[in-house]
Amino acid sequence: MTRKNPLFYYARKLALFLLSVFVLSAAVFYISRLAPGDPLVSYYGDRAEKLTVQERQRAEERLGLRDPIHVQYVRWLEGALRGDFGISYKYKMDVTEVIAGRAGNTLILGGTAFALIFAGALALGAVCAWYEDRWPDRLLCRVGTIISCVPEFWMSLVLILVFSVSLRWLPSSGAYSIGSAGSVPDRLVHLILPLTVTVLGHLWYYAYLVRSKLLEEVRSDYVLLAKSKGLTRRSVLLGHCLRSTIPTYLSLMAISVPHILGGTYIVEAVFSYPGLGTLSYESARYQDYNLLMLLCLLSGSVVILCSILARIIGERMDPRLGEAEGWEAAEYE
């Protein structure tokens, strides 16, 4: 087996990442500014409607909105390369400070959901594979399929109606109660409903993939050989099949990040959870251009990075996938 220079391989991946981020920034910049709406409303609020023509022109000049779009983009790009992403029109402060105040909430919600989803998917997938075609497997498959088909926003509204409005057991919005920002129990209570929706919305999809992969391994030749040597079903499934699926499982985890991140953003918007999802919705709604640009770059960078990471994991597991990228498969003469 021959292998090309790994440094060149990873340099190409880095170049692909940077090019993708650049294209994303240009697309978001142009689309956001061509979209209908008045960014001055975000900056001045209701006072924007009372501005005279001269005052509006001066305000647009001060914010750099009267220049051609390509000039605005070049100016923004130069600032971004220096680490200056501008100020938020709505919050009147540096966009990095605005995002820093919300990113922690999204990391807690999304990170916890990610861990629970994949721990649960691995456990459910193993249970279904163990009881293949028996009632636990059939029950979990049917219930999981039904739950995974329910839209997250609808599930959120149902849970709010039941547990917040009718039973009054759990809060319906926010990350903490007024005056309880430092209370861990209060934050955990506010996390229950958003976390439940995020986990239920994605759990079964990945559990089913784990189940399918395990059943595929169970029918492999090496498993038949292990059974012929007298190994128990538990030893074969947990000691051989489950271990063989771990590389594929790691690749699946990387691929799933954009999926779970998008679901987290939706749940945040429905529950008014003060995270990056709610902030993205507000910045798009009020044409807060600078804030929207950085949020899209952060989210897009995570998506692109995880996609490239999943590709690298897949190519390392099966070098044939990377032939076009520089990893050469074994050559038999």
CA distance 329 to 323: 7
Tell me what pLDDT residue 317 has. Answer: 67
Beta bridge partners of 327: 3
| Residue 33 pLDDT greater than 70, yes or no | yes
Distance CA 143, CA 124 (A): 12
**CB-based contact 261:313 (threshold 8 Å):** no
By mean pLDDT, which of 4-13, 27-36, 95-104 is the weakest?
4-13
pLDDT at 313 over 80: no
User: Tell me, what amino acid is at 181?
Assistant: A
Kindly tell me the burial class for residue 298, based on how many C-beta atoms sit within 10 Å of its own C-beta (0-12, 13-18, 19 or more).
middle
Looking at per-residue pLDDT, the higher value among 253 and 260 belongs to 260
**pLDDT for the residue 2:** 46
- pLDDT (0 to 100) of residue 63: 79
Q: Which domains does the chain have, with CATH numbers?
A: 1-90+287-333 (no CATH), 99-285 (1.10.3720.10)
- Give the pLDDT score at 258: 84
53: Cβ–Cβ under 8 A, 6 or more apart, which residues?
none
pLDDT reported for residue 326 = 45
Q: What is the pLDDT of residue 281?
A: 87
Q: Between residues 130 and 82, which one has the greater pLDDT?
A: 82
What is d(CA 247, CA 230) in angstroms, rounded to the nearest whole number?
27
**Predicted confidence band of residue 325 (pLDDT cuts 50, 70, 90):** very low
8-state DSSP, 220: S
User: pLDDT tens, 234-257?
Assistant: 677 766 677 777 777 777 888 888
What does the pLDDT average to over 127-147?
84
User: Tokens 């599930």 map to which residue?
Assistant: 155
Secondary structure of 104-162 as H, E, C letters: HHHHHHHHHHHHHHHHHHHHHHHHHHHCCCCHHHHHHHHHHHHHHCCCHHHHHHHHHHH
Higher pLDDT, 252 or 78: 78
List of residues 6+ apart from 229 with CB closer than 8 A:
none
What are the backbone angles phi and psi of residue 318, rounded to the nearest 5°?
-135, 95
Rounded distance between C-alpha atoms, residue 196 and residue 201, angstroms: 8
**pLDDT for 116:** 92
Taking residues 225-241, report their average pLDDT. 69
Q: What average pLDDT does this structure show over 19-41?
A: 87
Q: For all residues of the chain together, what is the average pLDDT?
A: 82
Instruction: Find out whether 39 and 56 touch, Cβ atoms under 8 Å.
Output: no
Q: How high is the pLDDT of residue 227?
A: 67
Give the predicted TM-score (pTM) of the model.
Answer: 0.80
User: Average of pLDDT values for 278-295?
Assistant: 88
pLDDT bin (cut points 50, 70, 90) of residue 26 is very high
